[in-house]
Amino acid sequence: MANHELVLGHGQDAELALGPNHHDFGQDHGLGLGHSHDLGLGGHAHDHELVLGQSHEHDHQLVLGHHHDDDHQLVLGHDDHHHHHVHHAGELVLRQGHDGDSETLEVQGHHHDELDLSESHELTLAETHHLGVDQNFDQLSLEQAHELALQPHDLSQAPLAVAPVVQSRTMVVSPEFQLAVGQQFPDVVSCRRAIRNTAIACHFEIQTVKSDKSRFTAKCAAESCPWRIHAAKLPGVPTFSIRTIHDNHSCVGINHLGHQQASVQWVANTVEERLRENPEYKPKEILEEIHKAHGITLSYKQAWRGKERIMAAVRGSFEEGYRLLPEYCRQVERTNPGSIARVYGNPDDNCFRRLFISFSASIFGFVNACRPLIGLDRTLLKNKYLGTLFLATGFDGDGALFPLAFGVVDEETDENWVWFLSELHELLEKNTENMPRLTILSDRRKGITDGVEFNFPTAFHGYCMRHVSEAFKKEFNNPVLANLLWEAAHALTVIEFETKLLEIEDASPEAVVWIRHLPSRLWATAYFEGTRYGHLTANIAESLNSWILDASGLPIVQMMECIRRQLMTWFNERREASMQWNTILVPAAERRVQEAIERARGYQVARANEAEFEVISAHEGTNVVDIRNRCCLCRGWQLYGVPCAHGVAALLSCRQNVHRYTESCFTVATYRKTYSQTIHPIPDRTLWDETADQGQVKVEMIINPPKSLRPAAQPRKKRVRAEDRGRVKRVVHCSRCNQTGHFRTTCAAPI
């Protein structure tokens, strides 16, 4: 690369010439370098030396000159007819020049102090040199001529102080932000808002001098800046008018991040329209939009608070949601007669503890048309106060989830599960003449087990296979074994089940020991005493995850309204869809029967009496079918409620209607009954007082938010090695904020 020579000279009218145009960047400024410092030039092919001399008290101009010969020189001094003493390419000389002759003062550098000049032409001092720089100095560009002012202080005494202008004041302002004498505003709030928006747009901060109902005076917050504005109220009207304005600035901008007038409310007003269109608008995106539109950088917390302020206005605050719970429960029971809605608070401080809601349409559909099967599950809430949502769900004739009851608790505990199941028991007991013998599916939590045993002593309680499988995978991370476990769970007979366990034992004896410790009657179909109709999991939360995840982040009343609205939509859609069905059975049961009919064509049937049959198959052997008791030796008919292939063969042999031998819950007529009731809308909360029943005594009940916002984190567990005990801990240092105790990568200080 071309050699560069940097010569620092002293002439009577020394200039700094930059580029071929030789723009002057300052006059009458002295540059003094006291004593010799050895500096290295980095990023060049040759070594460079910097020879520093003493400065004289003459007035100098600093000019960068560009020579057009082969070896380029960066000359600091007066480019004249005088001779320049250049030792070799890249050597930097500080000298004093005069007319007619040239006196060179040289102090040769040493090799231990270096000046680093990178390829990006940035000059970095490895040692601290004392350089006084004017506060108005912004930056030096080789393409644009900006003013460069150097204070005439001795460099050995003045520290290097550069005042960066983070937000340069905008010179050209959009017409909407221009202020003029006589400009009027509807009221004082509009006047203040307009002045604030102008300050933000022009990148200067204002300081309020006077502000009351009749006048408003503000000035630029920068010291000694003459900008000032005064507005006053017109007589007899709320209108404010600008009386005087001094719109000249002596300041250059803001030398810090953010803006004094960019408050949380300003952020909220700025992004309000966007948030109403897209509530999922993230604080990070808000920061990017404000920086792009207004050129200011705010903190993440400020953007988050601005968003929360708008969302609170749109959907209500989280605190308000808890306060509205008693009235919301009353509205649920008023608009949907027969529904159950109860809220419980702590008797000491009225803080929220529990909420139970079940709509009358769900109660009617479950009691009169659904299978006697309930799945229990829960999902964690993601709102400000967290909590847990309990779900009790049935299954309609077509196999879809049929939500029955919901519970919200401040935290998931065994005590809260027992309470939820007691509410569920009371609901069913109140709405049925004879409590059906239920089958309940859940995980293995102790609170659920105790609650089922206490409230539903006759129920068949089975474990959800998803939870069993997840626990198995934690112990044995083997997909093959996990698949065999599921096959064992689906096995209809004991022989099939034991065969699968033998396969697992061949692969891992430890896995079989783990499985044997789990009672088979609680999870294996072959040993389970109740009827699960093929449902091995209570995976309710994941099945509803498409919409319940969004609802879990809303205030509690808004969340329950989102759930109610979804149920209302489901009931209507499924009711209308069933009106288009022209079969006897629901689609899922109809498909199962048709598949059984196809398989039954290859069976041989021998009749023992009017109800008992022997069905023979070349691959499956002999199975005994009893059409009166609707059972088969393969157990398929009993477990699924629909005739198996052996039962279908027996029914067809005696010319019986197969559809008549299925459980009633699988018929279209029963399905329509499931969704025959309507979940009614609830009026907007602004109308709750108007819809109150005449003469009804309103009971005042106060519910406060839960105390804790976040669960207590578990303490970190870190093993201390014996050899580390007593050792002095090394103090780490952050290269970003110059503080100790953390690294640059984990620094949280503002930029």
Residues with Cβ within 8 Å of residue 289, at least 6 apart in sequence: 271, 274
Domain assignment present for residue 576? The answer is yes
Domain boundary among 246, 280, 298: 246
CA of residue 684 relative to chain centroid, distance: 28
pLDDT of 200 above 50 = yes
Residue 459 pLDDT class (50, 70, 90 cuts): very high
Domain assignment present for residue 139? The answer is no
Rounded Cα–Cα distance for residues 303 and 296 (Å) = 12
Higher pLDDT, 31 or 473: 473
Domain assignment present for residue 645? The answer is yes
pLDDT of 364 above 50 = yes
Q: Taking Cα atoms as reference points, which of 145, 4, 125 lies closest to residue 63? A: 145
Domain boundary among 246, 272, 297: 246
Rounded Cα–Cα distance for residues 497 and 501 (Å) = 6
pLDDT of 724 above 50 = no
Q: Taking Cα atoms as reference points, which of 600, 578, 604, 580 lies closest to residue 674? A: 578
pLDDT of 383 above 80 = yes
Whole-number percent of the chain with pLDDT over 90: 44
Q: Calculate the average pLDDT of the chain.
A: 76
- Summarize pLDDT for 498-520 with one digit per residue, the tens: 999 999 999 999 999 999 999 99
pLDDT of 97 above 60 = no
Rounded Cα–Cα distance for residues 265 and 271 (Å) = 10
Higher pLDDT, 557 or 712: 557
Mean pLDDT of 287-309: 87
Residue 652's SS3 state is helix
Domain assignment present for residue 672? The answer is no
- Summarize pLDDT for 433-450 with one digit per residue, the tens: 877 789 999 988 899 999
Q: Taking Cα atoms as reference points, which of 168, 184, 285 lies closest to residue 237? A: 184
Please give the backbone phi and psi of residue 735, each rounded to the nearest 5 degrees, phi first.
Answer: -80, 0
381 and 300 within one domain: no
Please, are residues 36 and 108 in contact by the beta-carbon 8 Å criterion? yes
The pLDDT of residue 48: 37
Helices (H) and strands (E) in the chain, counts: 20, 26
Residue 69's SS3 state is coil
Rounded Cα–Cα distance for residues 596 and 585 (Å) = 14
Rounded Cα–Cα distance for residues 402 and 567 (Å) = 9
Domain assignment present for residue 643? The answer is yes
552 and 529 within one domain: no
42-51, 391-400, 540-549, 741-750: which range is least confident on average?
Answer: 42-51
The pLDDT of residue 280: 78
Amino acid at 565: R
Mean pLDDT of 295-323: 86
The string of DSSP letters for 328-359 reads: HHHHHHHHSTT-EEEEEE-TTT-BEEEEEEE-
Place of tokens 């390829």: 119
Domain assignment present for residue 19? The answer is no
- Summarize pLDDT for 647-699 with one digit per residue, the tens: 999 999 999 999 999 999 999 999 999 999 999 999 988 888 765 555 555 55
Residues with Cβ within 8 Å of residue 391, at least 6 apart in sequence: 375, 376, 377, 378, 379, 403, 405, 406, 407, 540, 541, 544
Residue 229: exposed, middle, or buried by beta-carbon count in 10 A (0-12, 13-18, 19+)? buried
- Domain with 332, as residue range(s), is 316-463+537-580+701-712
362 and 290 within one domain: no
How many other C-beta atoms lie within 10 A of the C-beta of residue 591? 12
Q: Looking at 398-493, list the stretches that DSSP marks H as alpha helix, in order from N- to C-terminal side.
A: 414-431, 446-455, 465-475, 479-490
Residue 305's SS3 state is helix
pTM of the model: 0.63
How many other C-beta atoms lie within 10 A of the C-beta of residue 713? 6
pLDDT of 86 above 60 = no
Place of tokens 């002759």: 101
Q: Taking Cα atoms as reference points, which of 578, 587, 565, 542 lies closest to residue 675? A: 578
The pLDDT of residue 413: 92
The pLDDT of residue 23: 38
Mean pLDDT of 553-575: 93
What domain count does the chain have?
5
Higher pLDDT, 495 or 13: 495
The string of DSSP letters for 30-79 reads: -----S-------SSSS---B------SS-----EEE--SSSEEEEES--
The pLDDT of residue 691: 58
Q: Taking Cα atoms as reference points, which of 425, 441, 456, 427 lies closest to residue 363? A: 427
Q: Which structure tokens are listed for 542?
A: 């994941």
Mean pLDDT of 80-85: 39
Mean pLDDT of 627-639: 92
362 and 310 within one domain: no
- Summarize pLDDT for 392-433 with one digit per residue, the tens: 999 999 989 999 999 999 999 999 999 999 999 999 988 888
Q: Which structure tokens are listed for 45?
A: 């092919």
354 and 277 within one domain: no
Length of the chain: 751
508 and 386 within one domain: no
Mean pLDDT of 633-641: 91
Beta bridge partners of residue 607, listed in sequence order:
613
Domain assignment present for residue 117? The answer is no
Rounded Cα–Cα distance for residues 369 and 26 (Å) = 92
Domain assignment present for residue 747? The answer is no
304 and 390 within one domain: no
Residues with Cβ within 8 Å of residue 70, at least 6 apart in sequence: 2
556 and 520 within one domain: no
Beta bridge partners of residue 606, listed in sequence order:
614
The pLDDT of residue 741: 76
Please, are residues 186 and 239 in contact by the beta-carbon 8 Å criterion? yes
Beta bridge partners of residue 168, listed in sequence order:
253
Please give the backbone phi and psi of residue 95, each rounded to the nearest 5 degrees, phi first.
Answer: -140, 170
552 and 492 within one domain: no
Q: Taking Cα atoms as reference points, which of 639, 594, 602 lies closest to residue 618? A: 602
Alpha carbon separation from 594 to 580, 600, 649 (Å, rounded): 20, 10, 12
Please, are residues 406 and 473 in contact by the beta-carbon 8 Å criterion? no
553 and 441 within one domain: yes
Looking at residue 733, the DSSP 8-state letter turns out to be B
451 and 393 within one domain: yes
200 and 273 within one domain: no
Q: Taking Cα atoms as reference points, which of 416, 397, 306 lies closest to residue 353? A: 416
- Summarize pLDDT for 143-174 with one digit per residue, the tens: 333 333 334 444 444 444 445 556 666 655 67
Helix (H) or strand (E) holding 367: helix 360-369
